[in-house]
Amino acid sequence: MNVVDFDGMSAVPLEHFARCLHIFPNEGLERILPCVRHRFGNRNMVSLQLPNPSDPRALRIAAAPLADPSDRRPLALFSKSAGASKRTLERLFQEDVGLTFGKWRQQLRLMHAMRLLAEGAKVTHASLESGYSTPSAFISMFRKTLGTTPRLYFRTDAKSR
């Protein structure tokens, strides 16, 4: 996937960045980034990193979805092996990574699916391998997060190569 990395943590698809370059052709990133955010909103910002928790209990929980993003077990089932309650683990994730466990796992699944799609996998394969119950659930989440469907997102990306 061709993206422009702004700060090591977020990026926008190359075609969005290129549109703003045409508006401000002789400007630096400090002028272009606000244009990108204004014209396309945060929905087109793609997180390039998934922060991992530092607390050993939360890290033990994160290990299972990291190894297998399709693992759909709820946090309550993980809590016994971590030696902490579900509520404590939710708090630890929120404090360590700034996301609830559910949002963290959703980001993990999205990143995994995008990696598979960028390698040429079909949407159905990428969605099921990433833990979505159906391809339509994945497409809906993808559209909500990135403002387009996976097919259109990667078709546009392929044209910009």
pLDDT category at 147 given cuts 50, 70, 90 is: confident
Chosen domain end from 47, 66, 82:
47
Quote the CA–CA distance of 118 and 125 in Å, as a whole number.
Answer: 12
CB burial of residue 129 (10 Å; 0-12, 13-18, 19+) = middle
The predicted model scores a pTM of 0.68
Of the candidates 79, 133, 131, the residue with the CA atom closest to the CA atom of residue 105 = 131
- How do residues 26-57 score in pLDDT, each as one tens digit? 555 566 566 666 655 554 455 556 888 898 88
Q: pLDDT value at position 99?
A: 87
Q: Do residues 21 and 56 share a domain?
A: no
Question: How many angstroms separate the CA atoms of 50 and 102, rounded?
Answer: 13
Domain boundary among 13, 32, 47: 47
Tell how many helices (H) and how many strands (E) occur in the chain. 9, 3
The CA distance from 102 to 125, in Å, is 22
How remote is the C-alpha of 142 from its chain's centroid? Answer: 9
- 103 and 74 belong to one structural domain: yes
The verdict on 38 and 57 lying in the same domain is: no
Q: Are residues 36 and 103 part of one domain?
A: no
Domain match, 151 and 87 both: yes
Per-residue pLDDT, 20:
53
Question: Do the Cβ atoms of 129 and 116 come closer than 8 Å?
Answer: yes
Q: State yes or no: pLDDT of 4 exceeds 50.
A: no
Q: Categorize the per-residue pLDDT at 146 as very low, low, confident or very high, splitting at 50, 70 and 90.
A: confident
Are residue 82 and residue 101 in the same domain, yes or no?
yes
End-to-end Cα separation, the chain, in angstroms: 9
Q: Domain containing 158 — which CATH number?
A: 1.10.10.60
**Pair 73, 43 in one domain:** no
Residues 76 and 106 in one domain: yes
Residues 39 and 85 occupy one common structural domain = no
Cβ neighbours of 159 (radius 10 Å) = 9
Q: What is the pLDDT of residue 33?
A: 61
pLDDT score of 155: 74
84 with 10, same domain: the answer is: no
pLDDT at 125: 96
- Say if residue 64 is in the same domain as residue 107: yes
pLDDT band (50, 70, 90) for residue 152: confident
SS3 content of the chain, % helix, strand, coil (to 5): 65, 5, 30
The domain total for the chain is 2
What average pLDDT does the structure give for the chain? Answer: 77
145 — pLDDT class (breaks 50, 70, 90)? confident
Residues of the domain holding 25: 3-47
pLDDT at 129: 95
